[in-house]
Amino acid sequence: MREIEIPFGNVPERRAGLAVQLGFTLFGVLLMFLSYADGHLAAMFVGPLVAIGGLIGGGVWRRKARLRRLVVEPQGLRWEEKNASWAVPWYELSGVALSYDDKPKPSLWLHLRPNDPGTFGATYRSIPMTAFGWRVQLPDATGGDMLDLGLKRHAPQIYGGFVPHFDGGLGASL
């Protein structure tokens, strides 16, 4: 059986983020120099603020749209991302499930229930842990059907399907 790869991230959105970042930064620098030439001190302080806001806002936008991949394969799950990759074999998990969250924007969550939580937490530090267990918020909900198919194909014995997503409760029961 072949692996199923679900790509996340958006190259055009990253380019748009870079354009916004550069646009605000250049506008802020231009505002600063033009105000200095005219002697407007207030605009001289606003220019760097606009430039810094453009750098920060565009950087956040580009980070949200960075390229990532989730691979479901016969050996286990693999998440590939710059500086945050991990891979978990199926034998270390007693349950896997998916859930949707509609607030404030629809998102897909991957729930992992390890056989031994203590060892799992120490071994896989890059997998995000919430108060309700190991949950990975996927960047968008578009890969839900492919991920569901991949988990049914490669891990039918531990896959729990789609479960309710509880934000303030005990979490999903696998």
* Strand pairing report for 159-162 and 129-130: unpaired
Residue 43 has pLDDT above 80, yes or no: no
Task: Note the pLDDT of residue 166.
Answer: 62
C-alpha closest to that of 18 among 46, 50, 58, 54: 58
Grouping H, G, I as helix, E, B as strand and the rest as coil, residue 160 is strand
Tell me the per-residue pLDDT of 109-147, one tens digit each, with 9 for 90 and over. 889 999 998 899 889 888 888 877 888 888 776 778 888
The token pair at 169 is 């409760």
Question: Would you say residue 100 has pLDDT above 90?
Answer: no
0.85 exceeded by pTM = no
